[in-house]
A and B are shown apart, each in its own frame.
Chain A
Amino acid sequence: MNVEVETGSPSRDWLDDAVRRISEFGLVGLLVAVIIAFTIVSGSTFLSFDNFVGVLRAAAPVGIAAIGLTIVLAMRDFDLSIAAVASIAGVVLASAVDAGWGPLAVLLALLVAAAVGIVNGLLIAYAGTHPFITTLGMAAAVQGLVYVVTDGSIFVTASEYPLGWLNDKVIGVHMSVWLLAVLFLAAGVLMEQSPLGRQMRAIGGSREGALQAGIKVARSRALGYIFSAVFAGIAGLVIVTMQQVAQPTSGDAILLPAFAAVFLGAVAVRAIPEPNHLGTLLGMFLVALVANGLTIANASAAVQPLTQGGLLVLALAVGGARRMERAGA
């Protein structure tokens, strides 16, 4: 018996290891498969430097919002208000520019976004309300405020856009893509290398354990909601600058892809499903590439929500299976 276990166990470990490695890098594999498939279908229209830059530019708002969402989700919290926050940042920017605020409009828009994050953080981290239901209510309240700012009109256009430089190209790549890269790098360093980031990840691992280790759990969680709101606000500003118009529902389109990116990323890269910025970046790229490839291949409009929802559900199912496996082991 003993001999069997001793000889059997290394080979099973090796097999487990291989399975884990494949599923860890499943997202990269999926990414490569998607690129090959769309290249076969559409050729150089899809596989070109300009198209990939275009994909990243279109994905920038989703990616920026997903950066903040990754921080919140890494602490096992939720934020459903990011879409409404992106919308309000956009309409505040456009309205404030027209009211003569100039570049200060950017600051005002981000302060409004941060204020929503502060309220979320106070309610959830300090008063202990449920993250899901609180941010759902906050989304409704902020959406109401958006209609107050726009005064019921379906769009607001500003005479100029203080962040217009985001649409310029440097070394062949739009500034909004560079901004996305810089923010990803900064957030990645924050979460992986700084004491605050390590504390936040510890909270995600075990809230009770983090509390007993002397980590200020409530403060870190509240901070997470502020990060999430500010990043959503920046995403809203990028949308408005790109589209040159602010709509009351500009932000709605980022909600699902942002969640999909974070959850796809959570099951990639690391063995234990855990939201992380490298994974989110890959997830964002996959979601954006699929959307772009389908558009180029002239797929029907119905395919977009089906694949986006499907990717999110797939990521969650893989993560759930992985957790079950660990619980069983």
Chain B
Amino acid sequence: MSTARSALMRTMSLRPARDRMDLVSRWLPGLVVVTSIAVFGLQRPGIFFSTGNLGDLLVSVSVLGVLAMGLTVTLQSGEFDLAFPQVIVLSGVVAGLLLASMSSVPAILIAVLAGSGVGLFSGVLVAYLRVNSFVGTLGVSTMVIGVLLLLNDGRAVSVAKEGLLGFLGRNELLGISALFWIFAAIAAVVYAMARRTAVGRKIEASGASPSAAALVGINTRRMKVLALVLMGTLAALAGLMLTARLGGISPEVGPPFLFQVYTVVFLGAVMDPYGRFSISGSLFGLLAIAVLNNGLTITGVNVLTQSVATGGLLLAAVLLARSRVQKAPPV
């Protein structure tokens, strides 16, 4: 019992010796941010540093950021989720359809609960039926596509400007979009949950070393379910934010988020001495991807170069994270 506890403490907190590779990888997201600002700032100073562009950047960060918060906790629990891109669409469509017949608050609540429900379904499959989360959530993702077809034949849905969603999409607080403040609030809550509460530590322990976590009395299955429910709930919130921003939602807006969100979270992981996933790391990864995407968009670079740039980043992150994982002390 005490050996298991000390082994767990060791994986979760020991600091390794640093070397040159470490230095590069720890600063990779920072490097991306500084290089992007320098390059795009020099190329398009007028646009890049304008308040309008900074506002765009903060809005685009918001949806991606909420998803990254959820995925970070899911990956911490040792599981993957492939279903969230479809949950984004599901919550938007559910809200859009319900808003035609009811007021904003219950419609939004039901849409969020739909996301939590998908997360619960994935969680039970993964934790209690021992289904591999990667393939299992691929199946769940396809089932959600089926539900979308049932709901409205997979068509796009638009929301009225008058409702709460329209209001959030258009209004600003202190000159910054309301969507960004929602993201900031969610990030603060998830950060506090992950760092300051027992549940957060238990979730991380369940992923870091399931056997040691179980030995110290953590219900690892329940932690995995919690993580996937959080992912589903946050994906639903992200879907509502996206719906608010776009004035509606269509099925093809979901899938591109899959790759982007994984890149954000893995970029964050390379900053950690052991390649662990963390909320603070993901926030740095988010900043890097947001600045890079924004810069590439305003300099009018084609879609290919954009996908090569973000794809290369993910690959670099994965390779660097791997060299870290191998350095982790044996449990």
A binding-site residues for B, Cβ under 8 Å: 78, 123, 127-130, 132-134, 136-137, 140-141, 143-145, 147-148, 255-256, 259-260, 263, 300-310, 312-313, 316-317, 319-321, 323-324
Find A316's partner among B136, B143, B144, B322 (CB 8 Å cutoff). B136
B binding-site residues for A, Cβ under 8 Å: 80, 125, 129-132, 134-136, 138-150, 153-154, 258-259, 262, 266, 303-304, 307-308, 310-311, 314-315, 318-319, 322, 326
- Is the Cβ of B307 less than 8 Å from the Cβ of A144? yes
- Is the Cβ of B130 less than 8 Å from the Cβ of A324? yes
Find A129's partner among B130, B141, B319 (CB 8 Å cutoff). B319
- Is the Cβ of A305 less than 8 Å from the Cβ of B318? no
Q: Which residue of A lies closest to B266 (CB)?
A: A133
Contacts of A148 in B (CB 8 A): 304
- A134 and B318 in contact, given A256-B139, A316-B132, A321-B129 (Cβ under 8 angstroms): yes
- Is the Cβ of A133 less than 8 Å from the Cβ of B139? no
A304, B272: Cα distance in complex, Å: 43
Not counting A141-B307, A300-B149, A312-B135, a sample of 8 additional A-B residue pairs whose C-beta atoms are within 8 angstroms of each other reads: A132-B134, A137-B262, A140-B307, A140-B311, A144-B304, A145-B304, A309-B142, A316-B132
A137, B308: Cα distance in complex, Å: 10
Find A304's partner among B138, B146, B153, B262 (CB 8 Å cutoff). B146
Contacts of A307 in B (CB 8 A): 146
A145, B149: Cα distance in complex, Å: 30
Contacts of A145 in B (CB 8 A): 304
A304, B150: Cα distance in complex, Å: 11
- Is the Cβ of A309 less than 8 Å from the Cβ of B308? no
Find A301's partner among B149, B307, B319 (CB 8 Å cutoff). B149
- Majority DSSP secondary structure for residues of B touching A: helix
- A305 and B145 in contact, given A140-B259, A321-B129 (Cβ under 8 angstroms): yes
- Is the Cβ of A300 less than 8 Å from the Cβ of B304? no
Nearest 5 Cβ contacts at the A-B interface: A306-B146, A309-B142, A320-B130, A302-B149, A309-B143
Find B140's partner among A136, A309, A320 (CB 8 Å cutoff). A309
Smallest beta-carbon distance A255→chain B, Å: 8
- A147 and B318 in contact, given A310-B139, A316-B131 (Cβ under 8 angstroms): no
Q: Which residue of A lies closest to B310 (CB)?
A: A140
Contacts of A123 in B (CB 8 A): 315, 319
- Is the Cβ of A303 less than 8 Å from the Cβ of B146? yes
- Is the Cβ of B146 less than 8 Å from the Cβ of A316? no
Most chain B CB atoms below 10 A, which of A132, A301, A304 = A132
Give the A-B pair count, Cβ closer than 8 A. 120
A313, B130: Cα distance in complex, Å: 11
Contacts of B144 in A (CB 8 A): 309
A263, B139: Cα distance in complex, Å: 11
A260, B311: Cα distance in complex, Å: 27
A147, B302: Cα distance in complex, Å: 11
10 A/B residue pairs, CB under 8 Å, sorted by A: A127-B319, A127-B322, A140-B310, A259-B138, A259-B139, A263-B135, A300-B149, A310-B139, A316-B132, A321-B130
- Is the Cβ of A256 less than 8 Å from the Cβ of B138? yes
Contacts of A305 in B (CB 8 A): 142-143, 145-146, 149
A144, B302: Cα distance in complex, Å: 11
- A137 and B142 in contact, given A130-B322, A144-B308, A301-B149 (Cβ under 8 angstroms): no
- A78 and B153 in contact, given A144-B307, A305-B145 (Cβ under 8 angstroms): no
Contacts of A301 in B (CB 8 A): 149, 153-154
Contacts of A317 in B (CB 8 A): 125, 129, 131
Q: Which residue of A lies closest to B258 (CB)?
A: A136
- Is the Cβ of B131 less than 8 Å from the Cβ of A302? no
Most chain A CB atoms below 10 A, which of B139, B146, B149 = B139
A247, B17: Cα distance in complex, Å: 51
- Is the Cβ of A313 less than 8 Å from the Cβ of B319? no
Smallest beta-carbon distance A51→chain B, Å: 24
A130, B262: Cα distance in complex, Å: 13
Smallest beta-carbon distance A84→chain B, Å: 11
- Is the Cβ of B143 less than 8 Å from the Cβ of A132? no
Contacts of B125 in A (CB 8 A): 313, 316-317
Smallest beta-carbon distance A146→chain B, Å: 10
A183, B139: Cα distance in complex, Å: 26
Contacts of B307 in A (CB 8 A): 140-141, 143-144
Contacts of B266 in A (CB 8 A): 133
Contacts of B311 in A (CB 8 A): 137, 140-141, 144
Contacts of B149 in A (CB 8 A): 300-302, 305
- Is the Cβ of B318 less than 8 Å from the Cβ of A313? no
Smallest beta-carbon distance B150→chain A, Å: 4
- A141 and B308 in contact, given A133-B318, A302-B146, A310-B139 (Cβ under 8 angstroms): yes
Contacts of A304 in B (CB 8 A): 146
Contacts of B259 in A (CB 8 A): 136-137, 140
Contacts of A303 in B (CB 8 A): 146
Smallest beta-carbon distance B234→chain A, Å: 20
Contacts of A323 in B (CB 8 A): 130
Q: Which residue of B lies closest to A303 (CB)?
A: B146
Contacts of A300 in B (CB 8 A): 149-150
Q: Which residue of A lies closest to B143 (CB)?
A: A309
Smallest beta-carbon distance A290→chain B, Å: 13
A259, B310: Cα distance in complex, Å: 27
Contacts of B130 in A (CB 8 A): 320-321, 323-324
A130, B166: Cα distance in complex, Å: 41
- Is the Cβ of B129 less than 8 Å from the Cβ of A308? no
- Is the Cβ of A137 less than 8 Å from the Cβ of B140? no
Contacts of A256 in B (CB 8 A): 138-139, 142
Smallest beta-carbon distance A321→chain B, Å: 7
Smallest beta-carbon distance B122→chain A, Å: 9
